[in-house]
Chains A and B, each alone.
Chain A
């Protein structure tokens, strides 16, 4: 069959696809399919598109370190400018029925700020008296840029405040708006609901949540992105010695996490490199089991990193509070095996990618398998987008740990598989 007649078939075919999850994988799958003239409904459970990756900082040192955070920014802009993609924020899949096509229901939490009216002026954000009640997206490309967080909002607590409604010059805020159920039909579904970052409270020996100067790598990402500096939380002073601890939550068989998170060595080394380049007084030490590769030219990248970063092959035992808010890290010396203690100003826990919290419910709703670690299982060893159900494809970290580049690649694959699937079902039904 030639391309022309195939296309005519395609044009008659139904062209609706539901993408679940608005992180880098979901954005990519949605955008790629829109370029092939499919109509996309993109559901994101949080108030903003971009997922975890939109919170990440640029890690360039002297040169770009290829973390890919900027590609998320670009993809987000492309998606919001794409008329074929209908974005549904604060929305989750609540039910689905498969009779040839997928009939589904998205339950949407109230969108208190009307994206059509909001002009991003930020007055609500500035004037809101309750910390955390008005959230701002991480990127200027988030539409709307602001959202109301019920848990912190005084109106939802005791009805005592409606200041934002009153002061919004565009009258874009309505705190009485209700939740909605949005019904839709799609011929294929791409599941790209992402991951959950390991909560290091479950690894108490590192003292996260107790010692202020123990932070997660995600905290550091956001600090670098929002403030462009590194400060230790206890006194807002610049640390001199920073320790990165790898494999926090991942490769941890005691916790039942028998998988490598694949991204932590990459982000830790890249952030340590960026920090030592931007703030020459700071020294970074990375405690690790095995250094994992990233990028196209890892051997050279790692060699160069060794000039600026100290790598210690030992997983620290305990971390406790020393003088002046410093932290004492206990670890074994690789050569002698003797116990060492060393103090640091800031400890960064390289927390791993864990299965998304919504995976069990999603697996049940969509009748998909879950792998032994809790990620949604792919059923084809040569194609990780494949599920046991026709017309449903996986993309990104919902299926297992991966970095931005691999998430983009898998999302492209899922988009292509979905396009191919629609071609096939159409061919059969005509």
Chain B
């Protein structure tokens, strides 16, 4: 067992974003005994967040929560403030903030990002910008909470209101729910005719199918169309012509008011904050890689969590589910202010390290910092070994997977002399190793000459390992990685694939067949594929005959 250190963990938590998710997580953290620093860019907390509609619906609970958070001695609120730098490691982050002209410095143990998404009207996409009587969903909701403005909107009750939803963007249940609720409210209270033009009715959230059915019973009309109609201003009203797939005919609508949907986009600060925190975003630009290993609230860095619409469009309820998960993660990480961690998970050889910072750049977990030398935080380090394999000086060793020990295993594998081709398979512990063990447990007959070598991540597989295996007499080498977008260390599989390409070129140069080396992706629950892939390689190697190096050595 590796040496263990008891290290202090700061039990203050930085929450970035004073919307309803930020307030909720702050309040729950405080209840759990943590001190909270709640930082909001705007002038007050609770100003932005879910739709006006939702706030109205759950007003009691939200205003109570806000009041309690304001009274809570465990929560320090900093408004008009921005985080400008974060250094250090989980349990001991050093934060610098700007509030007006002032610089502030704080130390915290963990960070929760609770920035709320922004809602942007799609009036331009629909060619309706600048028109009077065209409202965005948010504008409509603001009108509906004011009796006076609502009366102005509904007029004498003879007006028609048209909603455009999911026609210029892929829809979303959060967007759909708001449109349906508003349509019902207008239809109910003022007797106006409301019509919803929609692509796919997005109902994959609790209670939405019921709401959808009720809205139709109340007279809200729906047309499911493939394309957005051209909506033209026609005097005081509009005209919209569409092809209806149920009637199989063109239908003309003449609404007086048009409500356009909104796009839910990442908070405008997301990109900049991502750089400060060194956390990754998904393709739509929200925080958190699109990778199941990070669900629900983890970022690629230990100690930094992302909740609610900071990570994807989300309802208030989903945001609060995330908030509770963040509290859970933080309770586990910071505990009561102390944590037992291995003295080191990765060792840096001081004499070899030239501070080239390759490790700092490649570490997917932001676990490496430097101070005249590279420092690997044992709390943040996930032990993937990508740094160790990328280090040009071979200055880094993983404590649990030292190169010499892995090479011993490779050489040992070469010493067996089975009748069938000898295969060395490097197996990521998260996928292939489990799949291989499962195949064995289920009684599958794996190739006789197969030797599995467990690695913490495919990103640990060095070109050196591959060449050593061939040198030691392997007829074939398999490098197994997790599927693209499923690597627990995000890019370990990519590094492994590159290295296999490099090693393949080297094999060709020394006159070994390129096909002896194979890169495959697999998941832990694929024992049958494991069997199929290893068998297929065995067949191929039988055709190729023994590794020439081995033959020479034998001669």
Contact = CB atoms under 8 A, between A and B. Distances in A.
Nearest to B10: A3
B430 A74 contact: yes
Contacts of A228: 526, 528-529, 532
Contacts of B35: 2
A383 B317 contact: yes
Given A1-B33, A139-B525, A70 B295 contact: no
B291 interface: yes
Nearest to B315: A382
Contact of B201 (A3, A62, A122, A290): A290
Nearest to B210: A258
A356 interface: no
Contacts of A300: 283-284
B288 A296 contact: yes
Interface string A274-299: 00000000000000011111111111
A72 B269 CA distance: 34
A73 B434 contact: yes
A64 B246 CA distance: 37
Contacts of A57: 525
A315 B328 CA distance: 43
Of the candidates B334, B438, B524, B532, the one having the most CB atoms from chain A within 10 angstroms of its own CB is B524
A66 B290 CA distance: 8
Contacts of B171: 293
Interface string A395-425: 0000010000100111011011101100100
A78 interface: no
Contacts of B526: 58, 228
Contacts of B337: 3-4
Given A1-B33, A63-B483, A413 B321 contact: yes
Interface in B154-212: 169-173, 200-210
Nearest to A336: B248
Interface in A157-202: none
A381 interface: yes
B328 A416 contact: yes
- B interface, by DSSP: helix, strand, loop or mixed? loop
B206 A136 contact: no
A238 interface: no
Contacts of A292: 173, 200, 202-204
Contacts of A72: 525
B292 A68 contact: yes
B224 interface: yes
A382 B33 contact: no
Interface stretch (A90-98, A147-155, A259-267): A259-267
Interface string B262-291: 000000000000000000001110101011
Nearest to B201: A290
A336 B245 CA distance: 8
Contacts of B31: 420, 423
A384 B292 contact: no
Nearest to A126: B443
Contacts of B324: 412-413, 416-417
Given A58-B523, A253-B213, A415-B328, A290 B224 contact: yes
B116 to A, nearest CB: 16
A35 interface: yes
Interface residues of A, number: 80
B296 A296 contact: no
Contacts of A334: 245
Interface in A1-24: 1-4, 6-7
Contact of A409 (B245, B325, B437, B486): B325
A60 B286 contact: no
B32 interface: yes
Of the candidates A226, A290, A423, the one having the most CB atoms from chain B within 10 angstroms of its own CB is A290
Nearest to B74: A1
Interface in A113-145: 120, 122, 126, 136, 139-140, 145
Contacts of A62: 484
Contacts of B529: 228
Nearest to A410: B321
A243 B105 CA distance: 60
A251 interface: yes
A145 B245 contact: no
A227 interface: yes
B300 interface: no
A302 interface: yes
Contacts of B28: 416, 420
B299 interface: no
B58 interface: yes
Of the candidates A122, A226, A292, the one having the most CB atoms from chain B within 10 angstroms of its own CB is A292
A382 B317 contact: yes
A258 B202 contact: no
B523 A384 contact: no
Contacts of B437: 140
Contact of A297 (B202, B282, B321): B282
Given A297-B283, A412-B328, A136 B203 contact: no
A382 to B, nearest CB: 5
Q: Which 10 A-B pairs have the closest CB atoms?
A: A6-B33, A64-B486, A299-B170, A63-B484, A292-B204, A228-B528, A7-B336, A409-B296, A58-B523, A140-B441
20 contacts: A3-B33, A36-B332, A57-B525, A64-B523, A69-B523, A73-B434, A74-B524, A139-B438, A140-B441, A225-B528, A228-B526, A258-B209, A265-B204, A293-B204, A296-B286, A297-B282, A409-B322, A413-B325, A416-B324, A419-B32
